[in-house]
């Protein structure tokens, strides 16, 4: 994104999602619930289309028929595992003991914050922004040198903006106390922004890197402590620790625990993958940025099992394959990138030589930076080894095509724990990326907005409009729409037939829904059996014989892909 390019408005995108039925707040009539979202009619179809496209290109026709680094077709089988598993699964995977975030609580307003997000939140906090303006700071970042903060400015901020925006701050409370000495109170202000904010909130010097200032009220935060992100429930009639279970925080572990079952009951041979989509749950303390960080979300995951010696080649293969897939579904351009993790970012399951890459998208709320869309990780043999040790069941694999050559000229075989390459995508984040990418402001359009979805994922594939609701035009339009529906509904989307309002308003509604083609039945249709086709992306129109409409649409929707 160039420096002069203005990020799209997330508020406008969210407003469109509500207005056109893409995404609603969950249980909205009761005030909603933070971190949970419902998909409306258009959103549900868009989400299904993205899921189905992934399923087709991963399970049904893996990698669209491409060969892997071994020169053979890629082999993937599907799985669908339970949300609730035996609690020992999460002990073995490390989630019970290590799936935590460092949390801090404000001693004044009692709000909870992720300690590693406090610095970013302070950058956007209204009370901090007001303090920046009051002090006339030429540069604002946590480690920037401020110099000596004028006592008069600090007192003025505390008595006006601070009293309204940061009532929990030590400085505000101290100056409001009866008999307070402003000169004595403001004399200890430090000279860097991070230290100043810490001092404003706590009245003490910054002793480390954690700025204990509450982004909400300016109060002082507790020292970070670990908080487990998994939701728990109970099975059976007795709610005690013995019957405690967890809602899965990821879909991957169900695949690992079924590795032996899949090998024993199918004809798959390493290298092969197991794929599944499904719900996962994480008790995010601060869900934010629309559906980007939610407490209930859906994943699309592949666990690809390969020999340890081949892991690097397969890792490189999946990095390129998954980036190309997102590009082919409508995210091609400068908003999409592939980023390799630094060594200090690697997860606990990564060993020497293992790597992790993220496919990232530049969302409006991350611009000019990027947010994770999909991770491709070399998990080594960590998960299979953990479950083998904790369960006491053998999860290694005997490979008949490896090992030394025996006297009879045949391979003796080799037994090993496969390494795993994991391409793991967020379905909800994928939908959000498609919405953000498609959202286009166009003042020349009747509505001013057009959603430029790739035809493969568009929730409405085409619309048929009678120009007027009389003279036999509605009957022709209804028959054409019915014919198109019979042929194209399987491609994932509806064929709209709408006779209400003006043609301009109907076009505007279809622009906002992302419908790629609109066909208008008019007076000339009665004369020459032709219709007008309108292209969503350009607004151009042309006449087309009504008998050619199905062929026209089939070519552009990728029928027979």
**Residue 69 lies inside a defined structural domain of this protein:** yes
**Residue 443 lies inside a defined structural domain of this protein:** no
| E strand map for 330-385 | 336-340, 356-361, 371-380
**Residue 156 lies inside a defined structural domain of this protein:** yes
Same domain, 104 and 60: no
CB neighbourhood size of 440 (10 A): 14
**Residue 512 lies inside a defined structural domain of this protein:** yes
User: Of 181, 198, 226, which closes a domain?
Assistant: 226
Same domain, 173 and 254: no
Same domain, 171 and 108: yes
pLDDT at 345: 59
**Residue 5 lies inside a defined structural domain of this protein:** no
pLDDT at 337: 96
| E strand map for 46-138 | 76-78, 100-105, 112-114
Same domain, 81 and 142: no
User: Of 226, 247, 266, which closes a domain?
Assistant: 226
User: Of 177, 204, 226, which closes a domain?
Assistant: 226
Same domain, 308 and 339: yes
State the residue range of the domain holding 52: 10-99+234-397
Residue with the two structure tokens 């998960």:
383
Higher pLDDT, 217 or 149: 217
Same domain, 258 and 387: yes
Task: Verify cis geometry, omega within 30 degrees of 0, for the bond prior to 271.
Answer: yes
Same domain, 189 and 261: no
Burial group, residue 2, by CB count within 10 angstroms (0-12, 13-18, 19+): exposed
Higher pLDDT, 437 or 408: 437
**Residue 35 lies inside a defined structural domain of this protein:** yes
pLDDT confidence of 185, banded at 50, 70, 90? confident
Q: Average pLDDT, stretch 23-32?
A: 96
pLDDT at 397: 95
Same domain, 373 and 245: yes
CA distance 246 to 296: 14
Same domain, 272 and 374: yes
Q: Average pLDDT, stretch 128-153?
A: 80
Q: At what angle do helices 427-438 and 10-20 cross, to 10 degrees?
A: 100
The CATH number linked to 49 is 3.30.930.10
**Residue 414 lies inside a defined structural domain of this protein:** no
Which residues, in sequence order, are bridge partners of residue 37? 25
Mean pLDDT of the chain: 91
Which helix (H) or strand (E) segment holds residue 261: the answer is helix 259-265
Q: Average pLDDT, stretch 329-333?
A: 91
Listing DSSP states for 490-525 in one string gives GGT-EEEE--SS-HHHHHHHHHHHT-SEEEEE-HHH
Same domain, 389 and 291: yes
pTM of this structure = 0.82
Under DSSP, is residue 45 helix (H, G, I), strand (E, B) or coil?
helix
Q: Encode pLDDT of 246-293 as tens digits.
A: 999 999 999 999 999 999 999 999 999 999 999 999 988 778 899 999
Is the distance from CB of 296 to CB of 250 less than 8 angstroms? no
pLDDT at 214: 96
**Residue 293 lies inside a defined structural domain of this protein:** yes
- 181 token code pair: 């000495």
Same domain, 241 and 363: yes
Strands of 541-545's sheet, edge to edge? 494-497, 460-466, 517-521, 530-535, 541-545
Same domain, 179 and 327: no
Nearest CA among 357, 379, 382 for reference residue 370 = 357
Is the distance from CB of 310 to CB of 428 less than 8 angstroms? no
The CATH number linked to 496 is 3.40.50.800
Listing DSSP states for 134-165 in one string gives HHT-S--STT-B--SPPHHHHHHHHHTHHHHH
Structural domains counted in the chain = 3
Pairing of strands 517-521, 460-466: parallel
Q: Average pLDDT, stretch 311-337?
A: 95
pLDDT at 3: 40
């Amino acid at each position: 994104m160039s420096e002069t390019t203005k990020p799209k408005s997330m508020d406008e995108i969210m407003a469109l999602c509500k207005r056109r039925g893409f995404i609603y707040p969950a249980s909205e009539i009761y005030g909603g619930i933070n971190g949970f979202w419902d998909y409306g009619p258009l959103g549900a179809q868009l989400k299904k289309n993205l899921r189905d496209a992934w399923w087709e290109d991963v399970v049904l026709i893996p990698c669209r028929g491409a060969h892997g680094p071994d020169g053979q077709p890629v082999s993937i089988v599907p799985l669908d595992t339970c949300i609730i598993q035996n609690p020992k699964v999460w002990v073995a995977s490390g989630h019970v003991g290590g799936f935590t975030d460092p949390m801090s609580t404000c001693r004044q307003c009692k709000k909870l914050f992720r300690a590693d997000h406090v610095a970013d939140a302070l950058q956007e906090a209204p009370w901090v922004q007001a303090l920046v303006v009051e002090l006339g700071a030429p540069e604002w970042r946590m480690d920037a040198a401020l110099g000596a903060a004028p006592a008069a400015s600090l007192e003025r901020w505390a008595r006006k903006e601070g009293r309204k925006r940061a009532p929990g701050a030590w400085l505000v409370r101290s100056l409001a106390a009866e008999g307070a000495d402003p000169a004595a109170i403001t004399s200890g202000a430090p000279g860097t922004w991070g230290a100043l904010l810490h001092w404003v909130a706590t009245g003490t010097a910054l002793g480390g890197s954690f700025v204990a200032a509450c982004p909400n009220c300016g109060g002082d935060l507790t020292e970070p402590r670990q908080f487990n992100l998994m939701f728990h429930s109970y099975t059976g009639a007795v709610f005690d620790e013995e019957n405690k279970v967890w809602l899965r925080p990821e879909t991957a572990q169900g695949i690992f625990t079924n590795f032996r079952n899949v090998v024993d009951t199918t004809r798959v041979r390493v290298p092969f993958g197991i794929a599944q989509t499904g719900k996962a749950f994480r008790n995010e303390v601060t869900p934010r940025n629309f559906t980007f960080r939610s407490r209930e979300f859906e994943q699309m995951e592949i666990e690809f099992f390969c020999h340890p010696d081949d892991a690097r080649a397969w890792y490189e293969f999946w990095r390129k394959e998954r980036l190309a897939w997102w590009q082919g579904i409508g995210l091609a351009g400068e908003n999409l990138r592939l980023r390799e993790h630094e060594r200090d970012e690697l997860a606990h399951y990564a060993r020497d030589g293992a790597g992790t890459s993220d496919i990232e998208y530049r969302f409006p709320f991350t611009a000019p930076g990027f947010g994770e869309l999909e991770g491709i990780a070399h998990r080594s043999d960590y998960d299979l080894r953990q479950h083998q040790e904790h369960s006491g069941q053998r999860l290694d694999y005997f490979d008949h095509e490896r090992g030394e050559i025996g006297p009879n000229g045949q391979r003796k075989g080799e037994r090993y724990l496969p390494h795993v390459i994991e391409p793991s995508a967020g379905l909800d984040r994928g939908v959000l990326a498609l919405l953000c990418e498609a959202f286009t402001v166009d003042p020349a359009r009747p509505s001013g907005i057009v959603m430029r979805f790739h035809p493969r994922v568009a929730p409405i594939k085409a619309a048929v409009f009678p120009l007027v609701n009389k003279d036999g035009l509605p009957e022709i339009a209804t028959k054409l729409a019915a014919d198109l529906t019979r042929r194209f509904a399987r491609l994932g989307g509806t064929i709209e037939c709408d006779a209400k309002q003006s043609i301009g308003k109907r076009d505007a509604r279809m622009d906002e829904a992302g419908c790629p083609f609109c066909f208008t039945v008019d007076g000339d249709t009665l004369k020459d059996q032709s219709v007008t086709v309108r292209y969503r992306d350009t607004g151009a129109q042309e006449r087309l014989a009504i008998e050619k409409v199905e062929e026209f649409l089939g070519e552009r929707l990728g029928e027979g892909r």
